[in-house]
Amino acid sequence: MERIDLLSTIKGSRFEGFFPREWDLARIDWCCSRKPEEVSAREKWWHKDFAPACCDTLEDFNTLMGHEIAQQIRLTREEGRELVLIFSVGPMGMYRWAVEFLKAWNVDCRHLHGFNMDEWCDEEGNTLPSNNPGAFTNAMESTFYGPLGSLTAPPKQRHFATRTELPSYADRIGELRSKGAKFVLIYGIGWVFHVAFWEPHFAEDYKNMDEWLGATHRVAAKLHPLTVIQNSITSFKSRITLVPARANTIGPGIFMKADYTIGGVDGFLPVRNMIYQGMTLWVTLKYGPSMWIPSSVMPQLPGKLFYIKPLAGPLEPEVN
């Protein structure tokens, strides 16, 4: 019997033309069909110091990723170096543990320069008020900067992706690095394989990978529908009408210059054994570098990509 799936039924459906133009759906499906034990098998394009980091549970994921973040902050403090740290709002659970470790170690974070990688906005790049519960500024102040208390980074060293501040990120980071600062990137990965809100369809605007890699940011970027849907689930309690269709975001011209990366994929709901980021993990690791799959370039940088074990599959149907 012939397969009946998306690949065989997409022609003439509402999904025809919906996905980014250069997505190879057959290759995406091939990535997801691999055996769980193959997820950590090294690929020739991976950086020698890049590795997936398997976590048995969400609790382990949050703790281990939080420890990795805290460790980078502590190491640079001990080395007497400034630290540029790009913050991702999503995943979030690791920040509680980063704070716990930093407080237990009594690490003063005055050397930390934090840059939020993105923020919701309108068509002109105006962002949500900083106290809005959906704002990424509010998220980092309430989960990281605030709980650190007297150990926290100075307010003048906390940068957020507003229409006026985002365009200065590249120069600010470059200046700090020229003085010896280490650059560490924290990132999550979206359903459409974005890093920050750097969406796959942005590739339409660039002639080649080199040009794409030079793009530092976008103001009022148009998000893919799947990104809006994903965030309605993860951050807006299913209320899709509250999710903005645009965001300010850093681009590969910033995030691909990191000295070290700390990534996380946590899309697993154990209460119902539901997996919503298995494809995200597999395609990031196995597709191969492509500007149409933004997260596919991340294994080319040193660092760790934390993931929850069930995301490795097998990715086979299970009706919920």
Greatest CA separation found in the chain? 66
Q: Give pLDDT, residue 270.
A: 87
Whether 275 and 283 have beta carbons less than 8 Å apart is answered as no
Cβ neighbors of 7 (< 8 A, separation 6 or more) are 25, 26, 29
pLDDT of residue 320: 81
Q: Is the pTM of this model over 0.85?
A: yes
State how far Cα 153 lies from the chain centre.
Answer: 22
Contacts of 59 (CB under 8 A, 6+ apart): none
Q: Note whether 276 and 23 are within 8 A (CB).
A: no
- CATH number for the region 45-310 comes to 3.40.50.1360
- Short-list 73, 141, 79, 145, CA closest to 102: 73
Strand 83-87 with 303-308, pairing: unpaired
Beta bridge partners of 235: none
Q: Quick one: tokens of 67?
A: 């420890």
User: What Rg value do the Cα atoms of the chain yield, rounded?
Assistant: 19
Per-residue pLDDT in tens (0 to 9) along the chain, 320 residues: 588 999 999 999 999 999 999 999 999 999 999 999 999 999 999 999 999 999 999 999 999 999 999 999 999 999 999 999 999 999 999 999 999 999 999 999 999 999 999 999 999 999 999 999 999 999 999 999 999 999 999 999 999 999 999 999 999 999 999 999 999 999 999 999 999 999 999 999 999 999 999 999 999 999 999 999 999 999 999 999 999 999 999 999 999 999 999 999 999 998 888 999 999 999 999 999 999 999 999 999 999 999 999 999 999 998 88
If you write DSSP's letter for every residue of 8-73 in order, what string do you get? HH-TTSTTTTTS-TT--HHHHHHHHTS-GGGTT---TTS-TTEEEEEESSHHHHHHHHHHHHHHHH
- If phi over 0 gives left and psi between -120 and 50 gives alpha, with beta otherwise, what is residue 120? beta
d(CA 314, CA 320): 16
Which residues are CB-neighbours of 235 under 8 A, at least 6 positions away?
Answer: 90, 134, 243
pLDDT at 24: 98
Query: Which residues face 198 on adjacent strands?
Result: 195
Distance CA 153, CA 144 (A): 10
Q: Residue ranges per domain, the chain? A: 45-310
In 3D space, the residue among 194, 184, 152, 148 whose CA is nearest the CA of residue 261 turns out to be: 184
- Where residue 180 falls (left for φ over 0; alpha for ψ -120 to 50; beta otherwise) is left
| Confidence (pLDDT) at 161 | 98
Q: What per-residue confidence (pLDDT) applies to 1? A: 57
